Structure 1
Amino acid sequence: MPEDKPHPIPSWLTKDYVQEKLRVYFKSDSLILETLDIKPAIANGENYASVMTRINVEYTTMESREKQATNFLVKTTFADKDPAAHVLIKYGVYTREMDMYQRILPKMADLVREEIRDPRRIFAGTVNVDRSTDSIIFEDLSLEHYKVACRLKKLDLEHTHLVLEKLASFHAAGAVLAEREKGIFKDNYDRGFYNKHTRGYEPVMTNLLKALSRSLNLDEELHHRYQAKIDRIVDHVMVYGERSTTNNPGDFVTLTHGDLWTTNVMFQYDGKGHPTNAIFIDFQFSVWNSPAIDLHYFFATSIHDNLRLHNQPELIQFYYYKLKDALKKVKYAGNIPTLFDFQLQFRARAFYAVFASLMFEPLMVYNGKEEASLAKIMSEGKSGMRFKDDVFQQEALRKKLHLTLPHLEQWGLLDDM
């Protein structure tokens, strides 16, 4: 990625503010914040929906007069003037994620630990949720040697199996929590990337598809075979997307992560380099829907191509039996679909693979020189057009399209639906 300018540090993120929050977190009114160092955690363009800041602190307490040092992460919204904020606010992403960390995830963690009997973390610990500043302070899991896998290299089978195992527990916990606490996901959990309330992402999706279409002019084979099909999808992308996320009677539905890709998973490893745990981060688009949308999104954006193209039925089977086992452990009273029915449900959500692989995945692996932002994706000015064209003209992506487009076409996903 290019060396983008970071977002400005929030004016309210002061020494006094952090000291107040840490006193509550550490349960020590005597805590004195000695030093506060604030730095961007990721560059502008690494995350299209929020701003991440790392704070390094040194503090003392009456109980321990020795100076102690640690790190935290602060997640905040874009400034009101940022075009991204005007899109994202319609989806309720900021209030939803605060609700997830404050109210939902602790209950799900208890279910996973006590009933599924998996003692491993499923999310980063929350230091503070502040609705007045639309911010969340998290534990910095890099201190426990968690790290994000390479978004360019993607995940091998060992990492993929671990994610699917943890995802099955997450989905099972969400389903039984909804049974036990009626209406807990009623408010604000119905607005994923596609929904029946807003089409704020429509210019994002159509502009990306148009840039894909333009890139096909550089490849005679792809141009001849696919450009007309991509151009037609531009006019139907929202309808197809909304149809693919409509819940039907009899579907197994639960709380989904909603934005499950490489950068939103952190791994912990043993001494031999094998992953031992995976935790999920970034719950802004968590939505009540079929777990199939998480699977499509994850497969399309985050795993090795040979797994994506040739092993999906086996991966779904692996996930399904993990889900079925977890649902039995939490004594889920609803209908557990058969593997056959779940495969059909996965197939019915298949347009999500078009959305994830042709629109979002190119952004996720972009490694060019243009500054990346949601504003540039929406813009039809020179700078925005140049960025989008550069995304789709990357050599690695152009080669991958020779695999992805035939794969989607064979499923009938590029034709009238």
Structure 2
Amino acid sequence: MCDKQAEKAVNGRQAENTVNGRQAEEAVDVKQVKEVTEAPQKTYRNLITESHVKQALKAQQGSSAQLLSWTVTDFTNKGDNYACVVTSVDVCYHKEGNDRKTSFVVKCNPCRALSIFNEFSTAVFQKEAGYYLELLPLFNAQLSRGGCEPIRAPHCYFAHLTEQEEVIFLGDLRPEGFKMFDRMKGMDKAHAVLVLKELGKLHAASILCQKETSVVLEEKYTYIKKDFQSIIGDVDFKKMLTSEVENSAEIAERIGGYKKVVDWLKDFAPSSSDVFLEQIKKSPPFDVLCHGDCWNNNILFKYDETGVPVDVRLLDFQISRKASPATDLNYFMYTSFNGPERKDNLETFLNVYYESLREVLEAGGTKAEKTSQELREEYHKKNLFGLIMGMMVVPIVVTQAGEVMDLDDITDGDYETLVKEHRERMLKQLDSNPLLRPRLLSIFDEMLEYGVIS
């Protein structure tokens, strides 16, 4: 097919270049022929194939559904996703004598030139596909036996995990009214309660599943053990965290009045990666399979006619890990809230989470091994993890879509430039973005109050 297209292009070009009745063969546009015959550049869009669509459609609608046509339709904004590209596929199909329509949300490898992101993308796709296709069914079967509702997450219909070609087809929740909460606003109590109940259920289900088998979950499902450090390497991981902490120190210094915070962060930066790894170590009996990335962009809500959130879906299990549930709680609290909403409602939030955890455990025939007070103590033991994640994520959360750094054209030789530009963007936001300063300062104030920064 490609050869015939090339021949057609040549012939067309020859016909257009007749001079004095003679065909000017020397005028054939070699570049045009080359463009026709060369394979297209790999992009996230051409990772999606008709075979993938057919398999997802069969999983969703049954083997009698016949694919008629499909179209890739982008719908997310720059800044909504980082480790992957999220798009959608609109499908027309025939079933039981009728032509019908459906759609899928599709997560794709972003096909970036920077090798560190390619390695990260491959690992997180393995983790997420495993979570959707193996762990969630395992957890939901356990919940069903206890008479509990399944975990609220989209259904996964198909995953293709060939390295650097990864795609995952998920159910499209938009027609049901689910949408992302505006990350710029900071989450409120009504939204948080829905999330925390679901986190409690998720964590409890993992505890119940682990109790029913002598096989350690992360040994059977080895992708659970992959984390930032193992994915991107010790050296790059240390550089990344050190840079993020130094950025926050410079911001605090620019703001003024936070000398104690500045000095502490500068001292802390070189050891931040070691502390991070210590914070996410398993700490029995507070061991659960965490979501790992529970923040505003990875949660969808459904609303009633008055705008009150009534339902929730958890998304993006790309960096799930076995760790203390307090890491999920701290991650959520210090990435998705303005300071007053987090601090004023903390007791309520922890109570909601604990009661959900306890109820599911008891429905499964197991008592919670720790009290609500011990959970509070564990939460504060992991505040340092919340501080680290807050410093990393908050500047991204409050960045407007038009100001988000474009990672698509950055190569390995540009990595140091990437780090420098990220710092410059953060510092620039101090003056141009009214959301960054109060969000970060509220975190610093709490860490001073809790004695984390001392």
Same fold (TM over 0.5): yes
Deviations 1:92-121 (A, max 9, x none): 3221111111111122223334524236x5
Which residue does the alignment assign to 2:211?
179
Corresponding residue to 2:172 among 127, 132, 140? 140
Contact 2:181/2:300, CA 8 A, preserved across alignment:
yes
**Contact 1:194/1:245 (8 A) holds in 2:** no
- Counting matched residue pairs gives 401
- Structure 2 residue aligned with 1:104: 135
- Determine whether 1:410 maps to 2:453: no
User: Once structures 1 and 2 are overlaid, which stretch shifts more, 384-393 or 70-79?
Assistant: 384-393
Residues 68-77 or 225-234, more deviating: 225-234
1:202 corresponds to: 238
1:361 corresponds to which of 394, 415, 432? 394
Distance 1:97 1:401, change over 3 A: closer
1:122 partnered with 2:152:
yes
Match of 1:95 in 2: 126
Aligned partner of 2:342 among 288, 292, 308: 308
Q: Partner residue of 1:347?
A: 380
Which letter does structure 1 place at the counterpart of 2:155? G
Contact 1:115 1:329 in 2 (8 A): yes
Q: Which runs of no fewer than 5 residues in structure 1 stay unpaired?
A: 1-6
With over 3 angstroms needed to count, the CA separation of the structure-2 counterparts of 1:272 and 1:110, relative to structure 1, is farther
Give the greater-gyration-radius structure (CA). 2
RMSD: 2.8
Q: What do the CA deviations read for 1:306-358 (whole angstroms, capped 9, x no partner)? A: 1322332332122112211211111137x611122222222221211111211
Q: Percent identity?
A: 21
Name the structure with the higher helix share: 2
User: How big is the shift at 1:126?
Assistant: 1.3
Opposite residue 219 of structure 1, the aligned amino acid is: I
Match of 2:319 among 285, 304, 311: 285
Aligned counterpart for 2:60 among listed residues 5, 22, 25: 25
Shift of residue 293, structure 1, vs aligned partner: 0.5
Gap change, CA 1:97 and 1:396, over 3 Å in 2: same
| Structure 2, unaligned runs of 5 or more | 1-41
- TM-score where L is the length of structure 1: 0.87
Contact 1:191/1:197 (<8 A) preserved: no
Q: Which residue is 2:251 aligned to?
A: 215
Partner residue of 2:424 out of 389, 397, 409: 389
- Find the residue that maps to 2:370 and give its secondary structure: coil
Partner of 2:86: 52
Q: 1:410/1:43 Cα in 2 relative to 1: closer, same or farther (>3 Å)?
A: same
Alignment partners' CA distance in 2, 1:73 and 1:220:
45
Q: 1-side partners of 2:380 and 2:147: how far apart? A: 28
Assess if the C-alpha contact under 8 Å between 1:255 and 1:289 holds in 2. Answer: yes
**8 A Cα contact 2:394 2:436, kept in partner:** no
CA contact (8 A) 1:259 1:286 kept: yes
Separation of aligned partners in 1, 2:333 and 2:265: 21
1:259 is matched with 293
TM-score with structure 2 setting the length: 0.80
Residue 188 of structure 1 and its aligned partner are, at CA, apart by: 2.5
Check whether the contact 1:269–1:276 (CA below 8 A) recurs between aligned residues.
yes
Question: In structure 1, which of residues 226, 230, 233 is the aligned counterpart of residue 265 of structure 2?
Answer: 230
**In the alignment, is residue 275 of structure 1 matched against residue 309 of structure 2?**
yes
Q: Following the alignment from structure 1 to structure 2, what is the Cα–Cα distance between the partners of residues 196 and 338?
A: 35
Q: Secondary structure at the match of 1:351?
A: helix
Q: Residue in 2 aligned with 1:330? A: 364
* Structure 2 Cα separation of the partners of residues 118 and 407 of structure 1: 36
1:277-311 Cα deviation digits (max 9, x unpaired): 21100001111111100100001111342132233
* 1:388 CA drift (Å): 3.0
Instruction: Output one character per residue of 1:188-230: Cα deviation in whole Å (capped at 9) or x when no partner.
Output: 22334467995353333222222223333432323x3432222
Tell me the distance in 2 between the aligned counterparts of 1:253 and 1:134: 30
- AA aligned opposite 2:447: L
Deviation at 1:44, TM superposition (A): 4.5
